[in-house]
Amino acid sequence: VCVCVCESNRMSLPTLLSLDATEVGLEKELLKGVCHVKCLGAKTQEDAMRSDEVPEADIIAVWHTVWLTPELLKRMTKAKMVVRMGVGYDNVDIEIAGELGIPVCNVPNYGTEEVADSAMAHILSLFRQTTPLAIRVANGAVIQGPDGIAAAAGQSCVRIRGKVLGCIGLGLIGKATALRAKVFGFRVLFFDPWISDGMDKAIGIERVETLDELLANSDVISMHCNCTKENTRMMNAKAFSKVKRGAFFVNTARGELVDDDALLASLQDGTLAGACLDVHWGEPFVIDKSEPLGTKGAELVRAGKLICTPHNAWYSVQSRTEMRTLGVDSAKRCLQGKPLRNVVNKEFLQNPRVPIM
């Protein structure tokens, strides 16, 4: 356990415990005089379960390495809140946390630019075949002359203007991606039953009423929704069977939204011309180890038809600082008795341990 104490008066201050962080220098600086800051450095839920620090912490912070299961949440006997250091909160059992009276707050207002930029980078790479060609050159291929370039790039390397991007989910990142795509000449469709009427008019894109309609009409599909019990594996064999043949697929949201076996089959049979995934089941993704994409799909990865990145779409130097600062702000509100914002488990909260908005 690494420990940074915010003030010399150790006995009088509450404690914030960051479960899966390994460095808390910024948090120490921002919370000076407000609380102690400790980092557990846990790699798994089991690491956190073994810690004597968890029951003593007044605030729990978690990134996306450790899963807050019912068993782990029940050990948080003093915790006034959980700060999820990020946007998605599928690694927290928010229903059980609510039953225990523990508000869970995410950080929805960080890194929107980074994830949208990353989604566009993947989309552009697929249409321009940048990454597959770079991989071939790195592996020693000699690609020269117009005919050689055309043969290497293949029939999937097509002009972007006029192509259709289908966004599944139109939250902050979905909207930011749609606006970027329009600049490149994409026609943008979106499917999101939770978005009020008129958003399409406001930003100049088109709404579709069903997922099937989006899948059938999109040249590239980009995932931008939270992962819940209801939409886990929403992109399954049935969904991929509706996809326009030769389309591309990009996921910077959550790996659990996709049935990997169905995705792999769609790449192998040509339904999909290529895919970029920044998020995966059972992260980290490791080629030759992660089932099934890293094993059965290893050749596709090596060829650049399936591009896998290590859940880094959110990251920049600035976004990491921004996320930590905003997470600290949420913890500070709690410790100062102010009503909490961005509570993602309001509907499940029973007798919340602190005020919420």
From 311, 322, 324, 333, the catalytic residue: 311
Q: How far apart are CA 335 and CA 61, in angstroms?
A: 14
The Cα 161–Cα 353 span in angstroms is 53
- Residue 232 host element (H or E): none
DSSP one-letter code for 235: B
Q: Which residues contact 141 (CB under 8 A, 6 or more apart)?
A: 152
Catalytic hit among 283, 291, 299, 341: 283
Q: Can you state the percent helix, strand and coil of the chain, rounding each to 5?
A: 35, 15, 45
For residue 82, report the phi and psi dihedrals to the nearest 5 degrees: -115, 130
Q: Residue 296, CB half-sphere, CA atoms under 13 Å: how many?
A: 12
Angle at 278 between CA 206 and CA 156, to 5 degrees: 65
Residue given tokens 């099934």 in the structure block: 292
- The DSSP letter of residue 44 is S
Structure tokens belonging to residue 323: 């996320």
> What are 248's strand-pairing partners?
220, 274
Within 8 A by CB and 6+ apart from 291, the residues are 260, 282
d(CA 233, CA 351) in angstroms, rounded, equals: 33
Residues forming beta bridges with residue 168, ordered by sequence position: 191, 223
- Bridge partners (DSSP) of residue 83 are 61, 105
280 has catalytic annotation: no
Given 36, 180, 207, 254, which residue is catalytic?
254
The verdict on whether 311 is a catalytic residue reads: yes
Confirm whether 283 is a catalytic residue. yes
Q: C-alpha angle with apex 276: 273 to 280, nearest 5 degrees?
A: 125
**Catalytic center residues:** 254, 283, 311
